[in-house]
A and B are shown apart, each in its own frame.
Chain A
Amino acid sequence: MPVVPEPVLTMSGIGKQFPGVAALDGVDLRLLPGEVHALMGENGAGKSTLIKVLTGVHPADAGTVELGGAAVAFASPLEAQRAGISTVYQEVNLCANLSVAENILLGREPRRMGRIDWKRMRARAGELLARLELSLEVAAPLSSYSLAVQQMVAIARAVDIDARVLILDEPTSSLDADEVAQLFRVMRRLKDEGIAILFVSHFLDQIYEISDRMTILRNGRLVGEYLTRELPQVELVAKMIGQELAVLERLHGEAKVFDRPLVEARGLGRVGAIEPFSLTVHEGEVVGLAGLLGSGRTEIARLLFGADHASTGEIAVGGTPQSLRTPRAAMAQKIAFCSENRKADGLIPDLTVRENIILALQATRGWTRPVPRDQQDELVDRYVKALKISPPNPEHLVRNLSGGNQQKVVLARWLILEPRLLILDEPTRGIDVGAKAEIQRLVAELSDGGMAVLFISAELEEVLRLSHKVQVLRDRRLVAELPNDAGLTSDVLMETIASGGRAS
């Protein structure tokens, strides 16, 4: 048993009240130098609140924070930064219009007689990036680099301030596998320099790859601190959601027969977006779309919903040919589309849960016939209960909900319309295991009730678990249609994607 070094940061008995809820209650956290410490928990477990308390965004109502043995209380993120606690958020908080060098050193530019010394600034930025084994054109605007590189730049900025503690809040949610590997290399390097890293991610594989130790939260309370290598994944999940996960088993019971085609696309395509494809979705069927990012998954969904115009081919709904030239036309055929980007395309953050849910229904009725308030309340109430939206208050502003709950609001909006075909584009991205399982179960229930679902997800496991058949996409082309039988595994799927369907 190696000697455990003194923790660089200790939080004990942290409590935080928000109006109506105890967001944190008696939470302890300690970070050891040279370790990656994962903070685990579902959405709403209190991870973000704990980080905000630590970095001085919110003051704590109870408990103490000790940094290097001395009690501290930060009034602002800036103060925390000065004390050596740096944070990199999920959304890159840099200025894309400025150069890479400026983004790293903004606010502490090297100066000579009050004048910014650009030459030294670029050299210094280059050094800092070299420390992370990165070589970038530091004079180029940040916007010319990918999101992943921007994230590294944010880290370079964070660790320049003699960081003792580095907090990475879901840095990997928008990165691809190579970029994650690059990020992990950087993290290991910083860890070797003795920096304590607090890491938040929803990807369990990543947690097991990089973290040494983890603290688990549930409903604002501490579940415990564990060494990662001593805690099997199943147990971790059980501790996070507080129950054994029966739902993660195969969701569909007996095999169903699909003989009533609902939507048939023949030779549908759009120049530059997706090559002509044919696709049939039957009533009660879940069709999964599998493929890499940019393989044309979303493009298919947009064509079926009328958000883009098809340049070739035709669509029949329920046997009769239809021209779905606008989303309104698709909605009239009872086709609903939950978009991938729930923040930009789907939700209006400043409206309440009720207003967001009622929106699509109101749109189909037209603005001259408002939905009566009691009918609104009744409908919303039913779906808030059915989807377990939390907090269960329809007058809550959507901006204050967690990601998983926001996703449920989008779902509820479309479910009220009682669609025949529901298109779900990445409905579980960036949400936690529990909410994910609930959404998956909901999809299974809906399809058992006769609704057709087109399910798009980057996670092959999820596609496999839910779908009756899987359409494989590659390079903007539909390459294979595979029935989801016992022989179909994620390995087979991956191979099909890799080979472009030639093998099968």
Chain B
Amino acid sequence: MTTLTAGRVGLPAKYLPVLVTGCLLAAMFVAGGIRYEGFASGQVILNVFIDNAFLLVVAVGMTFVILTGGIDLSVGSVVALSTMISASLMAGPGWPPYLVVPLVLVIGSGLGLVMGYIVHAFDIQPFIVTLAGMFLARGLCYTIGTDSIPIEDPAFTAFAQSRIDLFADMWISPSVIVALVVVGVAAYVLHYTRFGRAVYATGGSEQSALLMGLPVGRTKITVYTVSGFCSALGGVLLSFYMLSGYGLHAVGMELDAIAAVVIGGTLLTGGSGFLLGTVLGVLVLGLIQTIISFEGTLSSWWTKIFIGMLLFVFILLQRLFSARSRR
């Protein structure tokens, strides 16, 4: 209560959820640094970025959708489909990457566009439309092939394996740069363009947004297209990471993305949240994994247990915040 009243002067209440996530991340890092040898280094943080660049990109798209009050369950399948298309086109007919990657991005955006159109035009729950999209995209993977297809295109593998050296022996992969550019562009769009503000308005109250003369339908279609694009791009980044295409890649990634967005403080009901929160949410998920691998004796399934517990806590927090603001 006191933090809130103090917050009125300094920090508006809307930043509070992001702040909580930020503090959690810092606390996890400090705790890891005290407990494990070699944990408190910059490269550990950078590795979290490297290992989760694709998830970050997918979560950015998901943030757009959730901000309008929708949900996109198809992202994991679209990621898998993207790896599959990339790998098969490069392996079979030997298409060059500079043709394959744009094609994949167009296909992903197209899928999102179609789902967004159905959501808007027929006024159907996004949950069920994107669930259909999820099955569709996953099924399409197996029409291409049931086995994992390795990627051996020299230009593609060279780019994937290149390291960008920073100061003091630290390095990142090109995927991290791509992900950060996506985050930057998305944050600009959300904050500084009419489309971005329409996203928030639609999530706040669709009825009001409509009466205020905002293009609600176009906004909704666009956010699913953005999410489809981000999924496809996430698929390309995952191809860099795995150097293979496989129908079983990214199973359940839609749930990781949703978890990251929620832990980042974005309300599932829409209208409230920040991209910075999503970045922090992805980092929290990544850091949990890192801590568990440092612990060594714990099974990786503990990651899921911790994510589950965190989600419970954050959903309860959201409930508290929204209950207070309604009063």
User: Footprint of B on A, CB under 8 Å?
Assistant: 77-78, 81, 89, 93-98, 102, 106-107, 109, 111, 114-116, 140-141, 143, 157
Which residue of chain B has its CB nearest to the CB of A55? B211
Question: Using Cβ atoms and an 8 Å threshold, which residues of chain A touch B204?
Answer: 95-98
Scan residues 1-26 of chain B and give those whose CB is less than 8 A from a CB of chain A. 12, 14
Question: Using Cβ atoms and an 8 Å threshold, which residues of chain A touch B200?
Answer: 95, 97-98
Q: Which of A95, A114, A115 meets B209, CB within 8 Å? A: A95
Instruction: Tell whether B271 is near chain A: CB-to-CB under 8 Å.
Output: yes
Given the contacts A106-B197, A109-B197, A78 and B213 also touching, CB distance less than 8 Å: yes
Scan residues 152-192 of chain B and give those whose CB is less than 8 A from a CB of chain A. 191-192
Q: Which 10 A-B pairs have the closest CB atoms?
A: A95-B204, A97-B204, A97-B271, A78-B213, A93-B208, A93-B211, A95-B201, A115-B192, A116-B192, A95-B205
Instruction: Tell whether B203 is near chain A: CB-to-CB under 8 Å.
Output: yes
B197 near A102 (CB under 8 angstroms)?
A: yes
A77 near B205 (CB under 8 angstroms)?
A: no
Instruction: Tell whether B146 is near chain A: CB-to-CB under 8 Å.
Output: no
Question: Using Cβ atoms and an 8 Å threshold, which residues of chain A touch B244?
Answer: none
B201 near A81 (CB under 8 angstroms)?
A: no
* B198, B201, B209, B211 interface centre (most CB from chain A within 10 Å): B211
Instruction: Tell whether B143 is near chain A: CB-to-CB under 8 Å.
Output: no
Question: Using Cβ atoms and an 8 Å threshold, which residues of chain A touch B198?
Answer: 106-107
Q: Which of B192, B207, B271 meets A93, CB within 8 Å? A: B207
* A106, A116, A141 interface centre (most CB from chain B within 10 Å): A106
A115 near B193 (CB under 8 angstroms)?
A: yes
Nearest chain B CB to A75's CB is how many angstroms away?
13
A92 to B193, CA, bound (A): 25
Instruction: Tell whether B305 is near chain A: CB-to-CB under 8 Å.
Output: no
Instruction: Tell whether B318 is near chain A: CB-to-CB under 8 Å.
Output: no
Nearest chain B CB to A459's CB is how many angstroms away?
26
Interchain Cβ contacts under 8 Å between A and B, 19 examples: A93-B211, A93-B212, A94-B205, A95-B201, A95-B204, A95-B212, A97-B271, A98-B197, A98-B201, A98-B271, A102-B201, A106-B201, A107-B198, A109-B197, A115-B193, A116-B197, A140-B12, A143-B325, A157-B212
Which residue of chain A has its CB nearest to the CB of B206? A95
Nearest chain B CB to A379's CB is how many angstroms away?
35
Instruction: Tell whether B43 is near chain A: CB-to-CB under 8 Å.
Output: no
The tally of residues in B whose CB lies under 8 Å from a CB in A reads 23
Which residue of chain B has its CB nearest to the CB of A111? B194
A97 to B12, CA, bound (A): 12
B211 near A95 (CB under 8 angstroms)?
A: no
Given the contacts A77-B213, A141-B14, A116 and B193 also touching, CB distance less than 8 Å: yes
Nearest chain B CB to A82's CB is how many angstroms away?
8
Instruction: Tell whether B214 is near chain A: CB-to-CB under 8 Å.
Output: yes
Question: Using Cβ atoms and an 8 Å threshold, which residues of chain B touch A115?
Answer: 192-193
Which residue of chain B has its CB nearest to the CB of A96? B204
Which residue of chain A has its CB nearest to the CB of B196? A116
Given the contacts A77-B213, A95-B201, A114 and B272 also touching, CB distance less than 8 Å: no
Given the contacts A95-B205, A97-B271, A115-B192, A77 and B211 also touching, CB distance less than 8 Å: yes
Provide the B197-228 mask, 1 if CB < 8 A to any CB of A, else 0: 11011011101110111100000000000000
Which residue of chain A has its CB nearest to the CB of B267? A97
A107 near B212 (CB under 8 angstroms)?
A: yes
A89 near B211 (CB under 8 angstroms)?
A: yes
Nearest chain A CB to B190's CB is how many angstroms away?
11
Which residue of chain B has its CB nearest to the CB of A82? B213
Question: Using Cβ atoms and an 8 Å threshold, which residues of chain B touch A97?
Answer: 200, 203-205, 271-272
Question: Using Cβ atoms and an 8 Å threshold, which residues of chain A touch B209?
Answer: 95
A143 to B191, CA, bound (A): 19
A116 to B12, CA, bound (A): 21
B205 near A107 (CB under 8 angstroms)?
A: no
A116 to B192, CA, bound (A): 5
A106 near B272 (CB under 8 angstroms)?
A: no
A260 to B209, CA, bound (A): 56
A102 to B196, CA, bound (A): 12
A102 to B193, CA, bound (A): 12
A115 to B190, CA, bound (A): 11
B194 near A109 (CB under 8 angstroms)?
A: yes
Question: Using Cβ atoms and an 8 Å threshold, which residues of chain B touch A78?
Answer: 213
A95 to B203, CA, bound (A): 9
Nearest chain B CB to A205's CB is how many angstroms away?
29
A109 to B209, CA, bound (A): 14
A96 to B207, CA, bound (A): 12
Nearest chain B CB to A421's CB is how many angstroms away?
30
A387 to B325, CA, bound (A): 39
Nearest chain A CB to B228's CB is how many angstroms away?
24
A78 to B207, CA, bound (A): 14
A98 to B67, CA, bound (A): 12
Nearest chain B CB to A361's CB is how many angstroms away?
32
A98 to B213, CA, bound (A): 16
B194 near A116 (CB under 8 angstroms)?
A: yes
A141 to B325, CA, bound (A): 11
A109 to B194, CA, bound (A): 8
Nearest chain A CB to B175's CB is how many angstroms away?
28
Q: Which of B12, B14, B191, B214 meets A107, CB within 8 Å? A: B214
A115 to B209, CA, bound (A): 20
Nearest chain A CB to B61's CB is how many angstroms away?
21
Given the contacts A89-B211, A96-B204, A114 and B193 also touching, CB distance less than 8 Å: yes
B12 near A141 (CB under 8 angstroms)?
A: yes
Provide the B253-278 mask, 1 if CB < 8 A to any CB of A, else 0: 00000000000000000011000000
Question: Using Cβ atoms and an 8 Å threshold, which residues of chain B touch A157?
Answer: 212
Question: Using Cβ atoms and an 8 Å threshold, which residues of chain A touch B213?
Answer: 77-78, 81, 107
A102 to B200, CA, bound (A): 11
Question: Using Cβ atoms and an 8 Å threshold, which residues of chain B touch A109?
Answer: 194, 197
A361 to B205, CA, bound (A): 35
A96 to B194, CA, bound (A): 17
Nearest chain B CB to A44's CB is how many angstroms away?
23
Nearest chain A CB to B92's CB is how many angstroms away?
42
A78 to B203, CA, bound (A): 20
Scan residues 283-327 of chain B and give those whose CB is less than 8 A from a CB of chain A. 325
Question: Using Cβ atoms and an 8 Å threshold, which residues of chain A touch B208?
Answer: 93-95
Which residue of chain A has its CB nearest to the CB of B188? A115
Question: Using Cβ atoms and an 8 Å threshold, which residues of chain B touch A143?
Answer: 325
Known contacts A95-B209, A115-B193; can you find 7 more A-B pairs with CB under 8 A?
A89-B211, A95-B205, A98-B197, A102-B197, A106-B198, A106-B201, A109-B194
Nearest chain A CB to B208's CB is how many angstroms away?
4
A458 to B323, CA, bound (A): 27
Nearest chain B CB to A143's CB is how many angstroms away?
6
Which residue of chain B has its CB nearest to the CB of A115? B192
A297 to B218, CA, bound (A): 46
Nearest chain A CB to B215's CB is how many angstroms away?
9
A117 to B192, CA, bound (A): 8
A111 to B193, CA, bound (A): 9
